[in-house]
Amino acid sequence: MDKQQTQVERANNMTLREALRHKDVVRNEIIAGVTGFFAISYIIIVNPLILKDAGIPTDLSVFATIFSSVIGCLMMAFWANAPVILTPGMGVNAFFTYTIVVNMGLSWQEALGIAAVASFIYMLIAFTKVSTILSEAIPESLKSGITAGIGLFLVEIGLEKAGLIVAGKTSLVVLGDLTKPTPLLALFGLVLSLILYIRKIKGNFFIDIIATSLLAFFLGVKDSDTPTVDLARLGQYHEIVFKNDFSHWLSTPFILAAFSMTMILVFESMGLLQGLLPNHKKFKKTFEGSAVTTFLSGFLGTSPTVAAAESASGIESGGRTGIMALVAAVLFALSLIFVPLLAYVPSAAIAPVIIITGAIMMAAIGNIDMKDFSEWFPAFLIIVLISFTNSIATGLAFGFVCYPIMKVALGKAKELTWPVYLLGVLFLCDLVFSAML
């Protein structure tokens, strides 16, 4: 173990105050925070575009996305001391918009009400022993499957951002057009990232983002979907704050949607944190901080926050403490002014970092007992369905339902604890209710 790696692992057990006393640790954490921020910065653009279809004004939604992310990262820094970035989650924002508002015909105000109820239940679970019981009940093979599944999901996101894969006409995906500048630029960044990573160059991912962005600037490659944000509109932000509508909270659609969103928030967050955290002793505090931020985000006018899978990019860059989250919070706050400048960090510059990080996380497959099919197959379902359905919650549901079924079929029912059966039943209910929405 080299000196740099030893230093990073030592920081894993430091308090925030202790970490701030070590210049080398702070340097690593700053690089990790910047890397993690740029890896997830697209959320500032994409989340408002998705919520626009629910009827929330795009420019006001940008403010909500940034404010909730700042609060989430500050919670991770000072409450949990964890290298995790919280932002409005991809997947849950699609559920918010396309399931609750578009398909069910509810208003975005009612969707915010549903989010608040689901988040409140999430907080009740997070601040009681229930969270620890559920977390400890998850079999090791499924934990490894969650980590690997998130990794494969990141690889898919990275390849899409790079333009290396696109939706096909006769198949799910096909190879992108390698004559276009974005895929070529991404391939350059991928090769550079790989060389820097395997040679263990300090700040490797950050160097890649900067170098690829500069090359993109000189070649005139620029993302075209950056929204225009007028700070003068901040005065109208109150139009989406505290607009949660609870008037139909006893109706069947409201209850079913709240149940499904609760399952997404609790178990997607649990799965993400299990897969991301370098120090699992921080799980409880991180889970609590995530729950509080999720609850607040609905009142700020956006879909719920979750731990960003892209936090793994910062963690892989050496992030081990809340300083990484604090740096991300500062950058999110600054992005209020500099949102248009994010266009100069194109998807092609971020994609290589996400791809390599995902590949590193997929190494968790090696921790699964491949000789025991009852352990391997449920984990396999989690891995492939997270990616193929673009939903971490769906992947978890199939894996957790399958696990007890296979164990019972082998006559090993007595070896399972009651929380494992409970998780299986809850996820089965979630799949049924989701089909009904």
Q: Report the alpha-carbon distance of residue 300 to residue 62 in Å, rounded.
A: 11
Q: Report the alpha-carbon distance of residue 44 to residue 294 in Å, rounded.
A: 17
Q: Report the alpha-carbon distance of residue 29 to residue 27 in Å, rounded.
A: 5
Q: What is the mean pLDDT of residues 280-293?
A: 96
* Position 346 pLDDT exceeds 90: no
* Position 7 pLDDT exceeds 80: no
Report the pLDDT value the prediction gives residue 233, as an integer from 0 to 100: 84
pLDDT band, residue 161 (cuts 50/70/90): confident
Q: What is the mean pLDDT of residues 214-232?
A: 78
Helices (H) and strands (E) in the chain, counts: 19, 4
> What pTM, to 2 d.p., does this model score?
0.86
- pLDDT mean across residues, the chain: 91
Choose among 74, 42, 80: nearest CA to 277. Answer: 80
Report the pLDDT value the prediction gives residue 3, as an integer from 0 to 100: 56
Q: What is the mean pLDDT of residues 9-30?
A: 90
* Position 64 pLDDT exceeds 70: yes
Report the pLDDT value the prediction gives residue 4, as an integer from 0 to 100: 58
Report the pLDDT value the prediction gives residue 225, as an integer from 0 to 100: 63
Alpha helices in 224-279 (DSSP H): 252-276
pLDDT band, residue 227 (cuts 50/70/90): low
Q: Report the alpha-carbon distance of residue 79 to residue 307 in Å, rounded.
A: 15
Report the pLDDT value the prediction gives residue 402, as an integer from 0 to 100: 97
